[in-house]
Amino acid sequence: MSRRTRKGRRTKPAAGVLPAGPAYIKRKLSFFDPLDEEQLLKIDEQVDWMLENIGFAFRDDPESLRIWKKAGVKMDGDKIFADAVWVREQCAKAPSEFTQLARNPERTVSIGGNNQVFAPIYGAPFVRDLEGGRRYATFDDFQKLVKLTSMHPNLHHSGLVIAEPTDIPVSKRHLDMVYAHMTLGDKPHLGAITEKSRAQDSVDMAEILHGKDTMDSSVVIMANVNTNSPLLIDRVVSEAIQVYSSRGQAVVITPFILTGAMGPVSTAAAIAQAIAEVMITVAFGQLVKPGAPFVMGNFLSSMSLKSGAPTFGMPEPVLSNYIIGQMARRLGLPLRCGGSLTASKIEDAQAAYESADSMHSTAIAGSHFTLHAAGWLEGGLATGFEKLIMDADRLGSYQKILNGLDLSDDEFARDAYTEVEPGGHFLGSAHTMRHYQTAFYDATLSNSENVESWEEGGSKDMRRRAYEKWNSMLDNYELPAMDPATKEALDDFVARRKHELPDAWY
Amino acid sequence: MSRRTRKGRRTKPAAGVLPAGPAYIKRKLSFFDPLDEEQLLKIDEQVDWMLENIGFAFRDDPESLRIWKKAGVKMDGDKIFADAVWVREQCAKAPSEFTQLARNPERTVSIGGNNQVFAPIYGAPFVRDLEGGRRYATFDDFQKLVKLTSMHPNLHHSGLVIAEPTDIPVSKRHLDMVYAHMTLGDKPHLGAITEKSRAQDSVDMAEILHGKDTMDSSVVIMANVNTNSPLLIDRVVSEAIQVYSSRGQAVVITPFILTGAMGPVSTAAAIAQAIAEVMITVAFGQLVKPGAPFVMGNFLSSMSLKSGAPTFGMPEPVLSNYIIGQMARRLGLPLRCGGSLTASKIEDAQAAYESADSMHSTAIAGSHFTLHAAGWLEGGLATGFEKLIMDADRLGSYQKILNGLDLSDDEFARDAYTEVEPGGHFLGSAHTMRHYQTAFYDATLSNSENVESWEEGGSKDMRRRAYEKWNSMLDNYELPAMDPATKEALDDFVARRKHELPDAWY
C-alpha cells in the first residue's frame, strides 16, 4: 500500500510526489531584534499599565471567575485587574519550548526556542480553485486540503480548519475534521474549540490515538483560540483552556486586532494590547494547571483608508511581526504570528506580494508556530487550492534562509579559485561538482525558462502550474498506515458521538 | 504649465497623479546584523586571501596598469596582488555617505549611512505591457518609463537604462537617454558607461545641467558598472572610474555573480568574492582620486538545478542580502544590492513572490542605493510597464517599515482605552479620529474590497489595475520646468555630438 521501507523512507517518489522535508525548522540564522532596551521597557510599561489599570473581562463563564477569585486576584465584576509582576511570574511557568507528538514520530515538532513550524490556513468558509471557482467549502474539499497538507514537505503541521466543511452540521463537524487529520495524514494537528464539548471530543480522540500514558506526559494536541479583542476573554477561550490545559495540552491564544477597530489605530498600542491579552490569559491557564504550555498568538491587521476593510501584507503588521518576535523571546513564550496573508480574491500578483511580505517577516521574526502559512485568500474568507501549493513552495525558501549561512571551510571553495582564470567560469570546477545538487533550493513552481521555451510550454502562469501540481499530488496520494485497532476505536468514538449529538447548523 | 505653488507643493493633485513622496528614506528601523564577530572575520579572511593570493586582472586598459604600477602595488602581468591592509586603507578613503544633487533640490538624495534610495530597473532590451505584449524597447517606451519614474513618489532616483531604446544607434543612444532623464524628470540619475567617450559625454552634460562650480564640489551624476566576474575588471570599469572618479563623481561597482558560473556554487564564497572584487576596484578609484565616492554593488543570483538558468528571489541571494548589508556597514561603504527581481516572464504570482522576497531583504538589509527596485521581469531581459508600477506601489510599504516603530506617548493611546469597553471598538475614539488619516500606508494597487464588489468592478487582477494606473499617470504627466538657457545648451551639446558620432548598431 505504501512505498515506504521499514525505516519509513520512500524507495522512489512517484511523479507528482515531493521528497519529504524535515519535521520542522531548526533555525540557525540569528534573530532580528529591532528594539533597544529603552524601547522594550516602554512597551512593557504599557502592558503592565493595561493589566493593572484597564483590566480584562472574563465573560459568560462563571467557572473562570471562580478560578480567578480563588487565586485572590483583584476583580471588579467580571473584570480582572491583576498585579503585573504576578502575571509575569505566572507566564514564566509556561514552558518556552515544548514538543507536540505526531502519530508518525518522524513528524513530531518542537515549538519554541530556535524551532519554527509552518501550518496551513485556518477557518475559511469558502474555497477557490482555478477550474472550480469560488464556492462554499465541503468535506470533500476539506479532505483534499488535508491530503495536500499531509503530502507537502514544507508544511510541518496539519492545523485544523483548513476550510470549513459546510456540508456537515456544525454540531458534528469537529468530529469529521479531527478524524480526517488523524487518519488522512500523520502530522501533528489542532483540536476543536468552538464549544466545550467539542474541545473535549478532540482531547478524547487524541487520547485514543496516542494512548492515555503518552497523553499524560506529552503534548499530542493543540488548540487555537481568539480573545474577543479588545480586553475581553470569552467563554470559548476560558473553557478551551479548562479542557486542554487541565490535560497538559497546548493552547495558542491569539488576539485578532484590526487596528483602529479592535485596538487603537497605532501599531505600538496594538502590540502592547495583544501581549497584555495573551499574558492575562496565559496567567489564567497557569491557575488551571501550572506549567501548562501556551503559544502567544498575535494577529494584527491594518485597514483600508477608503473603506475600512481589513488589509493584509501591509507595512504596519509586517513591522509588528518583527517587534513581536523580539517581545516573545524576551517573555520566553513561544510565538505565533503572521502567515501568508492577503486581501486579494485570487492568486494574482497582489496575493503574492502581500503574502510574501507578510510571511517573510513572520519567518525572519521567528514565529515558532505559524498558522495561515499557506492557502490564505480574501482576508481569510477563502482557502485557495492553488494558493496552498504556491505558498508552500515559497515556505521551502524561508526554510533555507533560516538555515543561515554555512561558513565551513569547504564553502569558501579555495580550491576552485586555483582552477579558474579571471573571466572564466566555475561550472566544471571540482567544488561545483561536489556541491551542485544541494547548493540551491528547488522552487518547483517557479519557472526560470527563457521566454521562448515558456511560450512553447503554453505560457502557463504560476497559478496554472499550481493547479496542475495539486491535481497531480492528489493523484499520487497514499493513505498513511494506521494500527487497525486504533482506527476502529476512533471510528467507534466518532459514530457514537455523531449518534448522541443533534444536527445543528449554527 | 505646472500646478506647483512657490513652495513647490502641488495645490491639488490631478486624477492619476500620486502625491509626492520624500526625496529618499531616512531609516529609523535598526539594522539586522545576522553574523557574529567570529563569522565576520572568516569572511574578511577569505577576502584578504583573495586580494593577496588569487589576484584580480585589470584587462585591456594600459592606463589602469600604469596607475597600479605607479602606486607600487605587486603585479604579475595584468593581475594585481595587493596587500589587504593597504586595500582596506584605500577603501576607508571613500566616503561612507555622500549626497547626489538633483536638478530639483527637493529631489536631492543622500547615499550611505541611514539613508535608502530606490531606483528602477536597468538594462533590459525588451519591454512588456498588458496590451502591447513583449517587444524590443523603443525610445518612445523609454521616455514613457522615465516619465512614470519621474512621477512615482516611491522611486527616488531615475536610474538610466530603464529599457534599451533599441531604435537608436548604440553609438548615440546614451545622449538621448541622459537627455531624457535630465529633461523629462527632475530626479537624480546615472550616466552612461559603455565606452569612455560616452561616459565623458554624460559627465559633460551633467556639467551643463548643474554648472562647473557645483560639479567641482558635489556629486551630480553616478555611474553603475559591472566587474567581469570572476576576478576580472575590464576596460569599461577602469575607464568609467577614470572619467567619473577624476571628476569627483560617484561610481557603483557591481560584481554580477551567478553562483556556480561566475563564482563558486556556495553563498559564502560568492559574498567574499563580490566584496573582494569591489574592494580592489574601489582601491583603484582612490588611486585615480583619493576620496572619490563609490557604492559597493552586490548582485548574486542562484541557478535552476534543472537547466542552469539563473533564478531570482531565491533563498540563497535573499540570505546574501542580509549578510552583505552587515558587511557593507562594517566596511563603511554605501551598498547597492538586490532589487525586485524575478525570473517570471509576466506579472503573475511568481513575479510578485520572488520580487517581494528579494526586495524585502534588500530593504531590511539596508541597501543604500537599490537599482532594479521596480520594473524587472524575465531575469532582467524585459522591463514591465505594469511591473514598474506594481513594484513601486510596494516600495511605499518598505518605506513605511523602514520608518520604524513610533513609540511616542500618543501612540500608546491611553486615552482611547478609557473610552472603550471590553468587546467594544475604537472606530469612533478620539485617538482614532486624530490618527486615522496617517495611520496606514495606502497601497493604491491593492484591492481590499469584498468579493462581490470586486466582481462587480470587473474582477480585475493587480496586473489590469496597474495597466490602468500607468496609462492614467501618463495622461496626467507634466513636463517639469527647466531654465531655457540650460535646455538650449543641452540641446546644442546633443545635436553636436550626434553629428560627430557615426551611426553604429553594436
* A vs B: CB pairs below 8 A: 388
- Closest partner residue to B417 (CB to CB) among A54, A405, A446 is A54
Predicted local confidence at residue B174, as pLDDT: 98
Q: What are phi and psi of B424, to 5 degrees?
A: -80, -160
Do the domain assignments include residue A462?
no
Predicted local confidence at residue B327, as pLDDT: 97
Asked whether the beta carbons of B137 and B396 are under 8 A apart, the reply is no
Do the domain assignments include residue B453?
no
C-alpha cell at B296: 559597493
A254 is in which domain, residue-wise?
25-30+92-402
Q: Give B407-433 pLDDT, tens digit per residue.
A: 999 999 999 999 999 999 999 899 999
Do the domain assignments include residue B250?
yes
pLDDT band per the 50, 70, 90 thresholds, residue B11: very low
Predicted local confidence at residue A139, as pLDDT: 98
Residue ranges of E strands in A261-333: 294-303, 310-311
Residue type for B179, please? Y
CA distances from A125 to A109, A128, A380, A383, A435 (A): 28, 10, 9, 8, 46
C-alpha cell at B95: 566616503
Q: Give B219-230 pLDDT, tens digit per residue.
A: 999 999 999 999
pLDDT band per the 50, 70, 90 thresholds, residue A1: very low
C-alpha cell at A455: 511560450
Residues of chain A neighbouring B356 (CB-CB closer than 8 A)? 352-353, 356-357, 360
* H or E segment and range at residue A491: helix A484-500
Predicted local confidence at residue B14, as pLDDT: 59
Instruction: Give the total number of structural domains in chain B.
Output: 2
Q: Give B258-313 pLDDT, tens digit per residue.
A: 999 999 999 999 999 999 999 999 999 999 999 999 999 999 999 987 788 999 99
Final residue in a domain of this structure, among A391, A421, A439: A439
Average pLDDT over residues B139-162: 98
Do the domain assignments include residue A117?
yes
Please judge whether A230 and B360 are an interchain contact, meaning their C-beta atoms are less than 8 angstroms apart: no
Q: Say if residue A362 is in the same domain as residue A390.
A: yes
Predicted local confidence at residue A14, as pLDDT: 59
Final residue in a domain of this structure, among A402, A429, A450: A402
Average pLDDT over residues B384-401: 98
Q: Say if residue A146 is in the same domain as residue A217.
A: yes
CA dihedral of B24, B25, B31, B35, whole degrees rounded to 10: -30
Q: Give B104-143 pLDDT, tens digit per residue.
A: 999 999 999 999 999 999 999 999 999 999 999 999 999 9
Q: Say if residue B397 is in the same domain as residue B418.
A: no
- Closest partner residue to A412 (CB to CB) among B33, B268, B420 is B268
* H or E segment and range at residue B223: strand B222-225
- Counted residue by residue, chain B has a size of 506
Please judge whether A266 and B347 are an interchain contact, meaning their C-beta atoms are less than 8 angstroms apart: no
Please judge whether B412 and A316 are an interchain contact, meaning their C-beta atoms are less than 8 angstroms apart: no
Do the domain assignments include residue B53?
no
Mean pLDDT taken over chain B: 95
- The span from the CA of A326 to the CA of A335, in Å, is 10
Predicted local confidence at residue A104, as pLDDT: 97
CA dihedral of B72, B77, B83, B88, whole degrees rounded to 10: 90
pLDDT band per the 50, 70, 90 thresholds, residue A506: confident
Predicted local confidence at residue B10, as pLDDT: 43
Q: How far is B22 from chain A (nearest CA, A)?
A: 17
Tell me the torsion sign for CA atoms A257, A261, A263, A265: positive
Please judge whether A451 and B307 are an interchain contact, meaning their C-beta atoms are less than 8 angstroms apart: no
The three-state (H, E, C) secondary structure of A415-458, written as one string: HHHHHCCCCCCCCCCHHHHHHHHHHCCCCCCCCCCCHHHHHHCC
Q: Say if residue A254 is in the same domain as residue A285.
A: yes
Residues of chain B neighbouring A443 (CB-CB closer than 8 A)? 311, 314
Q: Say if residue B383 is in the same domain as residue B428.
A: no
Predicted local confidence at residue A110, as pLDDT: 98
Q: Say if residue A263 is in the same domain as residue A305.
A: yes
Chain A's closest residue to B450, CA to CA, is A378
C-alpha cell at B201: 559625454
Q: Say if residue A220 is in the same domain as residue A292.
A: yes
pLDDT band per the 50, 70, 90 thresholds, residue B15: low
Do the domain assignments include residue A63?
no
Closest CA relative to residue A127, chosen from A462, A391, A466, A385? A385
Please judge whether B260 and A432 are an interchain contact, meaning their C-beta atoms are less than 8 angstroms apart: yes
- The span from the CA of A40 to the CA of A268, in Å, is 11
Q: How far is A61 from chain B (nearest CA, A)?
A: 15
| Reported pTM | 0.96
Q: Say if residue A301 is in the same domain as residue A414.
A: no
Do the domain assignments include residue B38?
no
Residue type for B207, please? E
Q: Say if residue A352 is in the same domain as residue A428.
A: no
- The span from the CA of A259 to the CA of A4, in Å, is 49
Which contacts of A137-143 are long-range, i.e. CB under 8 A and separated by 24 or more positions?
A: A137/A163, A137/A164, A137/A165, A137/A166, A137/A383, A138/A165, A138/A166, A138/A167, A139/A165, A139/A167, A139/A168, A139/A176, A139/A180, A141/A165, A141/A383, A142/A176, A142/A177, A142/A180, A143/A180, A143/A184
Q: Quickly count: other Cβ atoms within 10 Å of residue B228's Cβ.
A: 20
Q: Give A25-64 pLDDT, tens digit per residue.
A: 999 999 999 999 999 999 999 999 999 999 999 999 999 9
Q: How far is A449 from chain B (nearest CA, A)?
A: 7
Indicate whether A9 pLDDT > 60. no
Residues of chain A neighbouring B410 (CB-CB closer than 8 A)? 266
Q: How far is B397 from chain A (nearest CA, A)?
A: 5
Q: How far is B128 from chain A (nearest CA, A)?
A: 12
Asked whether the beta carbons of B210 and B182 are under 8 A apart, the reply is no
Indicate whether A414 pLDDT > 90. yes
Mean pLDDT taken over chain A: 95
DSSP annotation string for A245-281: GGGT-EEEE--EEEBTTTB-SSHHHHHHHHHHHHHHH
Tell me the torsion sign for CA atoms B184, B186, B189, B193: positive
Q: Quickly count: other Cβ atoms within 10 Å of residue B103's Cβ.
A: 22
SS3 A5: coil
CA distances from B327 to A133, B26, B156, B223, B318 (A): 48, 20, 24, 22, 15
Asked whether the beta carbons of A448 and B310 are under 8 A apart, the reply is yes
Q: What are phi and psi of B88, to 5 degrees?
A: -65, -35
Predicted local confidence at residue A251, as pLDDT: 98
Q: Say if residue A302 is in the same domain as residue A429.
A: no
Average pLDDT over residues A262-279: 97
Q: How far is A482 from chain B (nearest CA, A)?
A: 37
Residues of chain A neighbouring B467 (CB-CB closer than 8 A)? none
Final residue in a domain of this structure, among B386, B402, B418: B402
Predicted local confidence at residue A7, as pLDDT: 44
Please judge whether B353 and A394 are an interchain contact, meaning their C-beta atoms are less than 8 angstroms apart: yes
Task: Return the CATH number at A246.
Answer: 3.20.20.480
Average pLDDT over residues A465-473: 98
Q: Say if residue A379 is in the same domain as residue A420.
A: no
Q: Say if residue A419 is in the same domain as residue A347.
A: no
Do the domain assignments include residue B16?
no
Q: Which residue has better confidence, A179 or B11?
A: A179
Residues of chain B neighbouring A27 (CB-CB closer than 8 A)? none
